[in-house]
Amino acid sequence: MNAFDVIIIGFGKGGKTLAAEFAKRGRKVAIVERSDKMYGGTCINIGCIPTKTLVHQAKIASGMEDSTFEERSAFYRNAIAVKESVTSALRGKNYHNLADHPNVTVYTGVGSFVSADVVSVRTSTEEIWLTSKQIIINTGAETIIPPIEGVADNSLVYTSTSIMELTDLPRRLVIVGGGYIGLEFASMYASFGSQVTVLESYPELIAREDRDIAASVKETLEKKGIVFRMNAKVQSVKHVENRAVVVFSDSQTDEVFELEADAVLLATGRRPNTKDLNLKVAGVETDARGAIIVDEYLKTTNPNIRAVGDVKGGLQFTYISLDDYRIIREDLFGDKERKTSDRNPVAYSVFIDPPLARIGLNEDEARKQNLDVIIKKLPVMAIPRAKTLGETDGLLKAVIDKNTGKIVGCMLFAPDASEVINIVAMAMKTGQDYTFLRDFIFTHPSMSEALNDLFS
Ligand X SMILES: Cc1cc2nc3c(=O)[nH]c(=O)nc-3n(C[C@H](O)[C@H](O)[C@H](O)COP(=O)(O)OP(=O)(O)OC[C@H]3O[C@@H](n4cnc5c(N)ncnc54)[C@H](O)[C@@H]3O)c2cc1C
How many other C-beta atoms lie within 10 A of the C-beta of residue 160? Answer: 20
Residues with Cβ within 8 Å of 428's Cβ and at least 6 positions away in sequence, in order, are 345, 359, 360, 406, 407, 410
Binding residue for ligand X (CB under 6 A) from 22, 29, 111, 179?
A: 111
CA distance 366 to 433: 17
Of 166-174, 187-195, 306-314, 441-449: span binding ligand X (CB under 6 A) = 306-314
Q: Which helix (H) or strand (E) holds 400?
A: strand 395-401
CA distances from 102 to 24, 133, 237 (A): 10, 21, 51
Binding residue for ligand X (CB under 6 A) from 23, 43, 259, 411?
A: 43
Residues in 265-284 that interact with ligand X by CB under 6 A: 273, 276-277
Q: Does 310 bind ligand X (CB under 6 A)?
A: yes
Binding residue for ligand X (CB under 6 A) from 73, 132, 160, 448?
A: 160
Of 166-174, 199-207, 235-243, 305-313: span binding ligand X (CB under 6 A) = 305-313
CA distance 372 to 370: 6
Q: Does 33 bind ligand X (CB under 6 A)?
A: yes
Q: Does 41 bind ligand X (CB under 6 A)?
A: yes
Of 12-20, 57-65, 241-249, 366-374: span binding ligand X (CB under 6 A) = 12-20
Min dist CB 404 to ligand X, Å, is 30
Q: Which of 56, 96, 239, 444 is catalytic?
A: 444
Q: Does 194 bind ligand X (CB under 6 A)?
A: no
CA distances from 14 to 127, 134, 232, 317, 351 (A): 25, 15, 37, 11, 23
Q: In terms of CB distance, is 91 or 338 closer to ligand X?
A: 91
Residues paired with residue 353 on neighbouring β-strands, in sequence order: none
Q: Does 188 bind ligand X (CB under 6 A)?
A: no
Q: Does 321 bind ligand X (CB under 6 A)?
A: yes
Q: Does 10 bind ligand X (CB under 6 A)?
A: yes
CA distances from 263 to 80, 158, 166, 245 (A): 16, 7, 10, 10
Q: What angle do CA 414, 270, 151 make, to 5 degrees?
A: 110
345 prior amide bond cis, ω within 30: yes
* Per-residue binder mask for ligand X (CB under 6 A), 344-373, x = binder: -------x----------------------
Q: Does 98 bind ligand X (CB under 6 A)?
A: no
Q: Does 48 bind ligand X (CB under 6 A)?
A: yes
Q: Which helix (H) or strand (E) holds 232?
A: strand 232-240
Return the half-sphere exposure (C-beta side, CA atoms, 13 A cut-off) of residue 292: 34
- Catalytic, 444? Answer yes
Q: In terms of CB distance, is 121 or 408 closer to ligand X?
A: 121
CA distances from 213 to 197, 280, 358, 377, 406 (A): 20, 44, 10, 10, 21
Q: Does 139 bind ligand X (CB under 6 A)?
A: yes
* Catalytic annotation, residues: 444
* Binding stretches for ligand X (CB under 6 A): 9-14, 32-35, 38, 41-43, 47-48, 51-52, 110-111, 138-140, 160, 181, 273, 276-277, 309-311, 316-319, 321, 351
